Chains A and B, each alone.
Chain A
Amino acid sequence: MSARPRLVFVGNGMAGTRALEELLELAPERYDVTVFGDEPHPAYNRILLSPLLAGEASEQEIIVHDRAWYEAHGVRLVSGCRVVAIDRGRRVAVADDGAETPFDRLVLATGASPIMLDIPGRELRGVVSFRSLRDVATMVEHARDGGRAVVIGGGLLGLEAAWGLLRRGMTVTVVHLLDQILERQLDRTASALLQRRLEAEGIAFRMEAETQAILGADRVTGARFSDGSTVGADLVVMAIGIRPNVALARGSSLPCERGVLVNDVMQTYDPRIYALGECVEHRGRTFGLVAPLFDQARVVANQLAEDGYFAYREQPMATRLKVTGIDTLSVGELSATPGAEEIVLSDASRGVYKKVVVREGKITGVVLFGDASDGGYFLDLMRDGVDVTPFRGELLLGRGFVEGAPAAGGEGARLLAAADETRICDCNGVCKATIVATIRAKGLTTLDAVKRHTKAGASCGACSPKVEALLEAVAGAAVERPAVAPMCGCTDLGHDEVRAAITSAGLDRIDAVMTALDWRTPDGCSRCRPALNYYLVCAFPDRPVDDPRSRVVNERVHANIQKDGTYSVVPRMFGGLTTAAELRAIADVVDKYAIPTVKVTGGQRVDLLGVKKEDLPAVWADLGRAGMVSGHAYGKALRTVKTCVGSEWCRYGVQDSTALGVALERMCWGAWAPHKVKLAVSGCPRNCAEATIKDFGVVAIDEGWELHVGGNGGIKVRATDVLCRVATAEAVMEHCGAFLQLYREEARYLERTAHWVERVGIELVRARVVEDAGGRATLHARFLASQAHAQVDPWAERAAGHDAHEFAPLARLADEPWAAE
């Protein structure tokens, strides 16, 4: 074994991990390092639990280091293991399994624990905190069934939890003790604006309410307040604050107050033991944001590397609420106290509110709501102690106004000229000089590389534009913009590049694509295979390229898998029309196969739920005999064309929307697409078919039809953009075919039209589908050509025996002698 001094980290959270990274950077070989973490996962970015909960980040994305990283750096990681005692006399750390690890130096980074209200019912199932990956897993689990959530606490954490659960489809109530949310971060006006905004998004608030008990026998059913009122709930999240984890330090006789006491170089009472992060108390202060922890990590690493020393000094820290689309930022004094004054800009109609607190000419506080784009600017002025008196009139209009037309080179040049210690990334405490030096020394040319090497922009991402501007200023023309993320871990190429290679080289087999493009894995993975399969199906409609093994189960068996392993069957009803014969056939099938549930769907047809897999081919055969085909309710394909009754019956109808809907569905059914595609046709602008939240929507007007694209009624509602108006039903059909083909050929797999239109811009769609008549005709023709091969009813094929092996077990061994067991 090595004779290197032994260093032990207790806690593998954000602070501990950062200190370790900094140390490995400064002195990679100095210590024999062991890291203990009592969570089962390797290091992850706790900040990103909020986007993870909201479904905006994946678990993959929030992992900071996987186990391979620890191995590569020669660090022993012991995760899922708790250190229960530090024997300072013998210098060993004792783990919960009794193992003893000797140390020469030790770093305490045990973080903090959520405070749980000590009220009846706190132990019920469904009561959680919001702190760890486990908590998020529990919340996501509950949110799966919709239901109601109560979030106790209207602070940053509570609001982010509420937002995430709302996004996951729960009905959310936030309970707050005071009459103002986020009272520690915002002033009254901004709090009220924020509350109103969140209410508009669907979050309910119960203010000045004290939770007295959580109700329920074994799992949560509700909460009761001190005024006796109650509210129903399936999930209760407590987000009322955190308490530093000091038990371990206390048990080892290290002095603690609220946190473990440390000096300016983050040493505890025992000079061999350092502490940092949310578990410490420094000069009477405890911490709850990552920026100070990262400063502390640098100090600790310097100390451990015996590399001279920094002392830790607290910096003003901005806080932001991580709720997509709602910008808030605050720092310092929230309201003027005697001797200070407030400059306020309030634009109610735009929902923007800005306030700067100024004392003796210098900014001492900032509150922004609705537009936080100048937050960094105000923060710089504040940190640098700039006298703002000369331009206080324009101050709130932002940097653009104060500094006039941007200098040549813009933001980047200005940042490059700024002082070396100008803070760029608040989360990770990275200053300008570090970024510039790293870009130069390592010859970095991509934003991603700068993030990886400096950590700037790698946490909440708010400063990414600044980092990118700096990169541009330093590296100039060398900057590469890999605007596209790689398809998956199997390749570095993005969707567009892969697709271009498929069409230009005529690669018509998945393995050929993988070989030609140097895939890292022999068979790809469950992310890239379905995407490649779609690209091939789209590029070569007339060749047998479809690989069932690269389709997700629903598309392979042409039915939707249910949570119990049975399937649902949705026959197509063109334009939402049906007949007595079809309904009779459905009724017979339901009886014959004892199908437990029959439901009218939101897509104007009937869903048969709970069909056994073995029965599928027979069910389809029976439905097929009545003339029905697959509704593709399971596919990344054309789903439904919703219609209203239109001019044929409705007293307002101006065109025959039902007939057009049927014609559109006859043209489009069977088309595979990057994601599902939904159409609707309304007979007048009352729009009963909800055409303005469809991928392609048609609304009848007196003179003809108005065409809409890029709508979405799902997770995030997006109203359509108007494409154009046309006079005839034939023109609608051509525009529709052209639009769908453009989407099929150019959108990335799993990108719905709403996201695609937002990415490429409606102008591009108009240019290709509306303005370029020749291009439109060609796109439409390509669509029809592809449909000639696609409109084969997959159910009929399977009822006739195709893929029979999919639906029958290979063997039944139930009659073995031991079967009785």
Chain B
Amino acid sequence: MREETLEWHQIGADDAVPRLGARVVETAQGRVAVFRDGTGAVRAIDDACPHRGGPLSEGIVAGTEVSCPLHGMCISLIDGRAIEPDEGEVRVHPVRVVGGVIHLGLVPGARRAAGACSAVREAR
């Protein structure tokens, strides 16, 4: 993803996202979940589990992973991929913290991929 195609948005104060917690940002391309992982880093991914769209922002965060509140799929906050043996991925959005404010980078006009549950996908 190249910098110049991104639009940066100020979404809130750095301390608004607690460690191992998450907040949601509503955007025109859907809800984005903003986490602070176990390492202290702020990370953002789409707030929709690749399995059945569960709200990942409501999951339990451990290390750099979040487990979905609906059926427990684990997603890496680093690359948005499901942890094996699960399959699937969600979009990761770049984040930076400047002067105590979190900025979220979005690609204007991008759409999220239609998430389908891996079991359903395989069954077809």
Interface residues of A (CB under 8 A from B): 40-42, 59, 63, 66-67, 125, 128, 133-134, 137-138, 140-141, 521-526, 529-530, 549-550, 552-554, 556-557, 561, 563, 565, 805, 809-814, 816-821
Contacts and interface: CB of A to CB of B under 8 A. Distances in A.
Given A134-B119, A137-B119, A818 B108 contact: yes
Given A563-B52, A805-B16, A818-B108, 10 more contacts: A125-B124, A526-B59, A561-B55, A809-B23, A810-B23, A811-B12, A813-B9, A816-B9, A818-B7, A820-B28
B81 to A, nearest CB: 13
Given A59-B85, A821-B108, A552 B60 contact: yes
A521 B61 CA distance: 12
A549 B11 contact: no
Contacts of B124: 125
A521 B62 contact: yes
Contacts of A565: 53-55
Contact of B70 (A525, A563, A814, A818): A563
B28 A814 contact: yes
B118 to A, nearest CB: 8
A530 B62 CA distance: 12
B28 A523 contact: no
14 contacts: A125-B123, A133-B85, A521-B62, A523-B38, A523-B61, A525-B62, A549-B21, A552-B69, A563-B52, A563-B70, A810-B24, A810-B34, A818-B28, A821-B28
Interface string B36-58: 00100000000000001111001
B60 A821 contact: no
Given A529-B62, A549-B61, A818-B108, A138 B123 contact: yes
Interface residues of B, number: 51
A805 B9 contact: no
B86 to A, nearest CB: 9
Interface in B94-111: 104, 106, 108-109, 111
B65 to A, nearest CB: 8
Kindly name the residue among A137, A524, A818 whose own CB sees the greatest number of chain B CB atoms within 10 A: A818
Give me the 4 closest cross-chain CB pairs, A-B, nearest first.
A137-B119, A819-B28, A810-B23, A818-B108
Given A141-B119, A523-B38, A813-B25, A561 B85 contact: no
Nearest to A525: B62
Nearest to A550: B60
A550 B59 CA distance: 10
B87 A809 contact: no
Contacts of B27: 813-814, 816
A805 B23 contact: yes
Contact of A810 (B17, B60, B70): B17
B76 interface: no
Given A141-B119, A526-B60, A553-B58, A816 B85 contact: no
B59 A816 contact: no
B38 to A, nearest CB: 4
